[in-house]
Amino acid sequence: MLLVPCPVCGPKNAAELTYRGETHSRPDPNQATPEEWRSYLYLRDNPAGWLREGWFCSSGCRTFFTLERNTTTGELREPLLPGNKVAGRPISDGTEP
Amino acid sequence: MSNHRIPDAPGQLINRDVPLTFTWNGRRLRGYEGDTIVSALLANGITITGRSMKYHRPRGPLTADYWDPNTTVQVGDEPNVRASHRLLRDGMNVSAQNVWPSLRFDLKSANRLVGRFLTAGFYYKTFMKPAALWPLYARVLGTFAPGGVVDLDAPPPRNDKRYAHPDVVVAGGGPAGMAAALAAAQAGASVMLVEHEHQLGGHLCWGDDTDRAEAARLAHAVRAAGVEVLTDATVTGRYEDNWLAISQRGLPGIDERLIKARAGVLIVAAGTIERPYVFAGNDLPGVMTSGAVRRLITMYGVKPGNRAVVFTANPSGDAAVVALEAAGVTIAAVVDGRLGGNVVAAHGRNRVRRVTLADGRRIDSDLLITAVGWTTPTSLLNMSGDRPVYDPEAARFFPWCPPDNVLATGGLAGDGTTEQLVAHGEATGLLAAARAGVVRHRLQHLTRRAEPVTTPEPAWPADERPPLPHGSHPALFRSTTHGIVDYSEDVSSKDLVQAADEGFDSVELVKRFTTTTMGPSQGKLETVNTVAVLAEARGETIEQVGTTVWRPPYAPISLGALAGRIHEPVRMSSIQPWHEAHGAQPILAGQWIRPNHYGDPESEVRNTRNRVGIIDITPLGKLDLQGPDVPKLLNLLYTNSWNALPQGAVRYGLMCAEDGVVLDDGVTGRLGPEHYLMTTTSSGAATVWNWAENWLQTEHPDWQVHITPVTTGLTSINVAGPDSRQLLERLTNDIDLGPDAFQYMQVRTGTVAGVANCIVWRIGFTGELSYEVHVPSGFGLFVWEQLLVHGQDLGVAPFGLEAQRIMRLEKGHFIVGQDTDGLSKAPVTGLETLLKVEKDDWVGKPEVVWALSRGDGPRIVAVQPTDPTVVPEEAAQIVAAGTNQILGRITSSRFSPTLNRSVCLAQVHPDVATPGTTLTIVLANGTRTTAQVMEHHAHFDPEGSRLRG
Ligand SMILES: [Zn+2]
């Protein structure tokens, strides 16, 4: 299991956080074309190499932060605060019926 | 037992002062404290410990250690116990598995006669056609299941979990592993040493006096240095970032514990496992590895037979000769594999009686000991991404290049004297401690906001350990005859050759086709022999064939240990004890347990509609919002406008996700200038909390809003019905409940039944005049009881979730997730006036705007069946008349006691959403019925005059 460096709690097991996926900036909701908006909603680059991804310390300090992780080597860079640009998807903690 | 035990000698682990009694298949036997089940059985002269899986051949101890494939037994109600590993306990009831009707006269051994049907891939061939016979095949195959018997009445096992964060974990407590643990601990690392046997020492335990003295010295030093020593424990898996699964047994009061350890560095010192030899009759009881007899004689004082042939190709075989002689076993012949000697066959029915050698000699003996080489259990290295390489000179695999935080030492890494192994272990321990320090520093640096780091990162210590030499060993895998390769799965070398002939050219495919290496020993004994047999059959080398990949688990782990204890919390309101005492039928809703009804939900509806009812709605999600920017947040999360919400007012809001799909709904009230209370659906409470935090932290970190979840901090009671005002007036004096002073959709704070800081708002999910009272939860039960006491003359009675669901359906209120689904964009609700297109920004706005302009999405409509007694099932399909073309579905349905007829909500295609349209509904029993689309969502009191009264 990945060891995720939470900027507030310190290193934590990935299972104690919620993975938010690749970060993408939110287009202007009044200007975006359907193509741009759906690219923001659904399309991901899935690179082999450095990736900016969102994490949510859901079982800890509840901080949303961005991590740079190399998907091929597992290398990590310092987490970024505050937040990031991955607000678009609701997250569930899995306790709902 | 006398003639099977040898006199007491140094090194024996049994305590002859503590005799134990146990039963074997009902027969009373004796053993000693310190015995394994198998050593005690052999000491009683019992040599058949089980039957093989397919052919039901008699089997006896082969390796006499944890990996022995032939000694799996049932102990009491526990199946699949490894009898060569499990220590004997007084009063144990041990029985053989996979035998019928008895171990000695096993009827299924007739399978030996029909063996031709059970060869390679028989699962896939024999039992395929015709499909009509599959139930019969399932019964036949069931008789091959080698497992024991699960007693469903037995108490459940006690399992536990633990988390650990050692700098260094050492897998294997032999000389190299102990030396590594000691050196790492002395260098300042926190160290966990994991040994799967019951004592430290590894192969030194069955060595000579010098070996055992060294083992004792190291074991003492390791403990003195503060190393945490786990015996009867196995590192079963290695995952990303050295996340380790360690199974630990033999703890008091716990059957098996799963330790999840995050190690800075993992040292793999798993040693070597002695490989069985493949030849005709190699699975007869009496055929054993050299390690088996050395263990049995040295550690348990057992004399395993009377007359032995020893086939040796290495020092372990030579040592077995010495041990056997010392135990009084006659050595009938020593066959030296280094000099070209070989064994061709073992003969006998239930036990070895005679051995045929390659030089033609036939020798009477009841033991045939083989020492033909070693398998390196590199599993943990494979799991780390390493691909070990085969060294033909040494006839075994060695590590190649594991990742930097995984180090190999001991027999796994090479050969040498005990001194050489210890020296390599020490160097490995020092390297591991140094690297673990750097790993820790890096992690601290990455998270230095949490814990400041002042020192610069130390350099990554290079691996400068002098490598252990690779000793040369003859390549001995199979003799000139065929025999068993996989003992647990009953796969022979003939099966593997046949699979190769049938064109299975990959070892991974052969594995799945024949099931070789797939049994409980997980390939520890079988993998290399499998590869060697395949290589020979295809005229290739072992390197060319390659091995199957060793995956977790290294050793089997019980499902109970993986599950551990159940820590799932059950949530309940402070009123739950009252509900239980008053006959409430409970319903589980997510983690909540709440009353569904108190016996008769329809009368609960009638009482609430006619008089007054109270319901415990504590699971309702509640978020306390404070700060100057709360209106901005509400404007962003809800589709409607929140700019001008006056203090003391509440408003309904609908939330979407960015794809325009309905996420949640609820009311939010303004309690003070910068203080709001938001309610969510019960099931959406956690989601909406995360959702709001998410937008604040990621998109709008500059907004000043503080969110506190207060769902369980407040007990929520809805007081509903025409007499609800009258009831509440009796319990309040600082809130003016007059119809004009406290109007529909308003909120007040004050004292209820003497309890201060209550929040009361007037809304109407049931359609009646009603007040939701949110009470500090410590007083929830008190206020509930006060309402019942003071409303007795008004006929107040509690109602449950079911009555509330009926009343909300009578009022046509949709429930998110019940009447909407994962594709329902906001316009489905018909609440166009709440979708503020002109508002600058809200979550999901673009998709909702586009959906509105298309106008082609399904709609929620109220539906009444033509026959008022028919209640269509929820999810019943709505189709075009006379066809099966689906136009929608019933999403909610109940019989309404108020209207004395069935009422529904449905999601339908916009073409049939017009009021007055007749719909065709397909009921679950296949019959069709008709129904009418209604003008309003509300079946009852569409004007809302009751709740505004
Ligand atoms: Zn955290």
Q: In terms of domains, do B207 and B256 share one?
A: yes
Q: Are residues B482 and B503 in the same domain?
A: yes
In a domain, B74, yes or no: no
Q: Does residue B603 share a domain with residue B644?
A: no
Ligand 1 center to residue A9 CA distance, Å?
4
Q: Could you tell me if B537 and B591 lie in one domain? A: no
Last residue within a domain, chosen from B681, B710, B739: B710
**Can you give the CATH number for the domain in which B536 is found?**
1.10.10
CA B282 to chain CA mean position, Å:
38
Contact list in A for residue B695 (CB cut-off 8 A) is 87
Percent of chain B scoring above 90 in pLDDT: 82
Domain match, B236 and B382 both: yes
Closest residue by Cα to residue B920 from B883, B893, B880: B880
Supply the pLDDT for residue B811: 97
DSSP string, B3-46: GGBPPP-TT---EEEEEEEEEETTEEEEEEET-BHHHHHHHTT-
**Residue B509 included in any domain:** yes
**What number is the average pLDDT over the span A84-89?**
55
Nearest residue to B495 (alpha-carbon basis) of B510, B476, B478: B510
B410 and B502 within one domain: no
> What's the burial of B257, exposed, middle or buried (CB within 10 Å: 0-12/13-18/19+)?
buried
What percent of chain B shows pLDDT beyond 70? 95
In A, which residues are within 8 Å of B691 by CB distance? 90-91
Does the beta-carbon distance from A1 to B240 stay under 8 Å? yes
Give domain status of residue B542, yes or no: yes
User: Is B334 part of any domain?
Assistant: no
Q: Which domain holds residue B886?
A: 858-949
Pick from B690, B698, B846: which is nearest to A86 by CB? B698
Least Cα separation, residue A94 to chain B (angstroms) = 9
Q: Are B403 and B167 in contact (CB under 8 A)?
A: no
Predicted pLDDT of residue A76: 87
CATH number of domain containing B898: 2.40.30.110
Identify the structural domains of chain A with CATH numbers, from first to last.
3-70 (3.30.2270.10)
B384 shares its domain with B510:
no
Chain A interface mutation, best of B265, B449, B633, B845, highest count of A Cβ atoms under 10 Å: B449
Q: What is the pLDDT of residue A97?
A: 31
pLDDT tens for B729-771 read 999 999 999 999 999 999 999 999 999 999 999 998 899 999 9
Instruction: For B316-362, write each residue's pLDDT tens digit.
Output: 999 999 999 999 999 999 999 999 999 999 999 999 999 999 999 99
Q: Which CATH number belongs to the domain containing residue B172 in this structure?
A: 3.50.50.60
Cα dihedral A68→A73→A74→A76 (10° resolution):
-40
Q: Whole-model pTM?
A: 0.86
Number of domains chain B is built from: 5
| Residue B101 pLDDT | 52
Displacement of CA B540 from its chain's centroid (Å): 41
pLDDT at B521: 77
Which token pair is B751? 């004292």
Predicted confidence (pLDDT) per residue in B227-285, tens digit? 999 999 999 999 999 999 999 998 998 999 999 999 999 999 999 999 999 999 999 99
B778 and B664 share one domain: no
Q: Is B31 inside any structural domain?
A: no
Tell which of B710, B726, B751 closes a domain. Answer: B710
Taking a C-beta distance cutoff of 8 angstroms, is the pair B89, B36 a contact? Answer: no
pLDDT recorded at residue B99: 66
Report the pLDDT averaged over residues B552-564: 89
Both B868 and B929 in one domain: the answer is yes
Beta strands in B694-762 (DSSP E): 706-709, 714-720, 746-752, 755-762
Indicate if B247 and B388 belong to the same structural domain. Answer: yes
> Given this model, what pLDDT does residue B123 score?
59
Query: Which residues, at least 6 apart from B297, have a Cβ–Cβ distance to it below 8 Å?
Result: B6, B303, B304, B323, B324, B326, B327
Put simply, the answer to whether B443 touches A5 (Cβ < 8 Å) is: yes
Residue B139 lies in a domain: no
Which of B326, B652, B279, B617 has the alpha carbon at shortest distance from B480?
Answer: B279
In this structure, is residue B9 part of a structural domain?
Answer: no
- The one-letter code for the residue type at B462 is A
Q: What is the mean pLDDT of chain B?
A: 93
Is a pLDDT exceeding 50 seen at residue B784? yes
Identify whether B355 is part of a domain. Answer: no
| Lowest pLDDT segment from A29-38, A65-74, B421-430, B659-668 | A65-74
Q: Within this chain, do residues B799 and B894 fall inside the same structural domain, yes or no?
A: no
Within 28-47 of A, beta carbons closer than 8 Å to B belong to: 29-30, 32, 34, 37, 40-41
What are the φ/ψ torsions at residue B771 (nearest 5 degrees)?
-125, 125
pLDDT at B825 over 50: yes
Residues of B in contact with A77 (CB under 8 A): 446
Domain boundary among B406, B430, B447: B447
CATH no. for residue B664?
3.30.70.1400
B21-32 mean pLDDT: 96
The mean pLDDT of B548-577, rounded to a whole number, is 88
Which range has the worst mean pLDDT, A42-56, B178-192, B670-684?
A42-56
- Same-domain pairing of B809 and B727: yes
Partners of B451 on chain A (C-beta within 8 Å) are 10
What are the two backbone dihedrals, phi and then psi, of residue B46, each rounded to the nearest 5 degrees? -90, 120
Interval A3-22: pLDDT, tens: 998 988 888 999 999 998 88
* pLDDT tens for each residue of B120-176: 665 566 555 666 666 666 655 555 555 777 788 888 888 999 999 999 999 999 999
Put simply, the answer to whether A93 touches B846 (Cβ < 8 Å) is no
> In the block, which residue shows the tokens 């003939």?
B494
Local structure of residue B464 (DSSP, 8 states): -
pLDDT at B555 over 80: yes
Mean of pLDDT values over B605-617: 98
pLDDT digits (tens, 9 = 90+) for B760-782: 999 988 999 999 999 999 999 99
Chain A nearest-CA residue for B845: A29
Q: Is B658 on the interface with A (CB under 8 A)?
A: yes
pLDDT band at A93 (very low <50, low <70, confident <90, very high): very low
Q: How many CB pairs under 8 A join A and B?
A: 119
